[in-house]
Amino acid sequence: MNTSDIPLRLTDRKRAAVIEAAIEEFLAAGFDATSMDRIAARASVSKRTVYNHFPSKEALFAAILRQLWESSDTGAAPVYSGTHPLRAQLLQLLLKKLSLLNDEAFLSLARVAIAAGIHSPERARDMVTRMGEREEDLTVWIRAAAADGRLKTADPMFASQQLQGLVKAFAFWPQVTMGQPPLGVDEQRQVAESAADMFLARYA
């Protein structure tokens, strides 16, 4: 055994414990009532350990949402390919996003985030900024396809937000704000295919 790996593995375990405890606290108490002290106690680590991994409660919450995205069931997002059909690539990306948007843990945390943001617009902006620190997979893909001359847009981020709006109108906002059930697999594919066709009709 390489003893140099032990501290790293211990650090990873503590970080995972902090995230798991934070999810439980946020869901149980809401954003405002959750404190770093309560998270540390639930994770059985020191408050200093929590702050060593996450400088603030907002940063911790954003990290949780990112982790849920990165671990969504459909695996790593496909990288743009200049030799494969655009529609097939886009469907892969959209189905990955839909897998996350229909995850109950993600939807529950989204409700927590929205409730917290309503009471503090500054906090909402901070959360959005932190979530955007790593450019969204759809934006990256659209930028690459545009650079390759297969999509026509001077603003890939705007185009990405349009596309996500088409998806979230069916697979996020009704579930978060009106308590509608998550979409089934067939419904997810219908939303993905329709959104992809509308997007490509405009930009391809």
Q: Per mean pLDDT, which of 110-114, 128-132, 140-144 is the most reliable? A: 140-144
Q: Give the pLDDT confidence of 11-47 residue by residue, as tens digits.
A: 888 888 998 898 888 888 888 889 999 999 999 999 9
Homologous superfamily of 74-203: Tetracycline Repressor, domain 2 (1.10.357.10)
Query: What whole-number distance in Å separates Cα of residue 86 and Cα of residue 82?
Result: 8
- Which pLDDT value is given to residue 94? 94
79-108: average pLDDT: 89
Enter the pTM of the model. 0.71
Same fold for the pair 1-54 and 74-203: no
Domain coordinates of the chain in residue numbers? 1-54, 74-203
- Which pLDDT value is given to residue 160? 94
Answer yes or no: are the C-beta atoms of 169 and 180 closer than 8 Å: no
Q: Report the mean per-residue pLDDT for the chain.
A: 84
What CATH number does the domain located at 1-54 have? 1.10.10.60
Answer yes or no: are the C-beta atoms of 65 and 113 closer than 8 Å: yes
- Which pLDDT value is given to residue 124? 66
Q: Give the pLDDT confidence of 41-91 residue by residue, as tens digits.
A: 999 999 999 999 999 988 888 888 777 666 654 556 678 999 999 999 999
Answer yes or no: are the C-beta atoms of 68 and 109 closer than 8 Å: yes
Residue 182 one-letter amino acid: P
Residue 157 one-letter amino acid: M
pLDDT above 50 for 3: no
Q: How many Cβ atoms from other residues are within 10 Å of residue 191's Cβ?
A: 21
